[in-house]
Amino acid sequence: MLIELEHHKHGKTYEKLARELHVTKDKVEELVKNLVAKDLVTDDNGTVISTESGKELCKKVEKHRVETPIKLQMLSNDETMGLVNVLKKMLEKEEN
């Protein structure tokens, strides 16, 4: 939610946030209450606005995402076939 608000300095309504986050309005209200308690957003008559603390946290998260390497590990053909064979044997044992 904070990242979504980062690009809208005038905030967003509960309805718009719910649509964009693919959740219900009730869920947005629940999240907003928690974020207001932590001083990360303010609620101005149904419009959620990010506070300076919320903006700083958002910047830290974005920086962490950029700096953190993402590793994808693929299995070799031999490893894949070995895994398939193990699974086949497990299924055969269950059937017997």
Structure confidence by residue, pLDDT tens digits, 28-76: 999 999 999 999 999 999 899 999 999 999 899 888 888 888 776 788 8
pLDDT score of 72:
67
Q: State the Cα–Cα distance between residues 63 and 26, nearest whole angstrom.
A: 31
Q: State the Cα–Cα distance between residues 32 and 43, nearest whole angstrom.
A: 8
Q: Is the pLDDT of residue 5 over 90?
A: no
The answer to whether residues 41 and 48 touch, using CB atoms and an 8 Å cutoff, is yes
Any idea which residue has 């044992």 for tokens?
93
Domain boundaries, the chain: 2-70
Which CATH topology does 2-70 take?
Answer: Arc Repressor Mutant, subunit A (1.10.10)
**0.75 exceeded by the pTM?**
no
pLDDT score of 64:
86
